[in-house]
Homo-oligomer: A and B are copies of this chain.
């Protein structure tokens, strides 16, 4: 029984999830201080928020990334940035997040503390509060699992920690984001370099030497997107290119809008390090996950204004127009390659990169 074990004091125990004294202490000493706000501190079953808007946006995402910490971020930063970005690309201003923690027995408390601090820092960066939460503890996975784990499971054996963040936001008045408004002649923008997050995680798992230059792009994009809304441009479509990468977003857009998309490899921002890493790992930068990149579609006449607005923000310095919507039928996504050829871009079938976010 957990109750009879010597007190370790440094690691998560099953008893931390029991709704008892130990859990109360975990919450009071390790969770509330970094996240402090009155709503959360009340430790009631939910948060009460007063509300200015009559239109609410509500979203959720779970995070299972492995490893938990990586250059440029960790699962905590991801859990805030990902959910804030889901709200922001719906045209909402994020207001509040919930935090659901599933902790694995044996997780070092100092790792939990670092991750919760990072999560709190990212929430401050985005201007949102974590207003309600829940904590569960599950048994430790056996170290023996290493023996028979599948070949693709290259991450650490211990999961340590899963996070769910749900988010609520207020819809920005006047926004008309709708893929069906996208039409031939519109242009496609991206706010910076592709594939940094996914390649960073893969490089970490494989212990590759070039990893020192790779950094995840995980970042909350709500302020960047607020800047482009403030230009007054009529933004028709916004989507963050996470799992499935740019290719996944474009496949969805093409299907939903019934239009063809043509992008130009020479205009797609990719760092030399990322290009090299993708080649070594046999990955296509178009299908690799990003955690701080957004695809923007709007009329061509407004593209320069919005590109300039993006470039004035640190998270949009490398913004570029990467392609356009064409009248070709049936709806397809095509890439003009650097080598002068042309190829189809398709949604990946399954998962090249398990546990990437």
Q: Which residues of A contact B (CB under 8 A)?
A: 1-3, 13-24, 44-64, 85-87, 89-90, 92, 96, 98-102, 105, 131-134, 136-153, 159, 162, 164, 166-169, 171, 239-240, 242-244, 248, 289, 347-355
Look across to chain B and name the residue whose beta carbon is closest to the beta carbon of A47: B58
11 more contacts with CB within 8 A, not counting A50-B54, A58-B166, are: A18-B243, A18-B244, A18-B349, A19-B244, A20-B351, A24-B347, A46-B60, A46-B92, A48-B58, A58-B168, A141-B142
Look across to chain B and name the residue whose beta carbon is closest to the beta carbon of A139: B153
Could you give 19 example pairs across A and B, Cβ below 8 Å?
A2-B354, A15-B349, A17-B243, A18-B244, A23-B351, A44-B90, A45-B89, A46-B60, A46-B87, A48-B55, A48-B58, A49-B55, A49-B58, A60-B164, A61-B134, A63-B136, A139-B149, A140-B150, A144-B147
B46–A58 CB distance below 8 A = yes
Distance in angstroms from A192 CB to nearest chain B CB is 19
A86–B45 CB distance below 8 A = yes
Number of copies: 2
Distance in angstroms from A70 CB to nearest chain B CB is 17
B87–A350 CB distance below 8 A = no
CA distance A83 to B86 in the complex (A): 22
Distance in angstroms from A154 CB to nearest chain B CB is 10
Residues in B whose Cβ lies below 8 Å from that of A142: 141-142, 144-149
* B22, B63, B168: the one within 8 Å of A350 (CB): B22
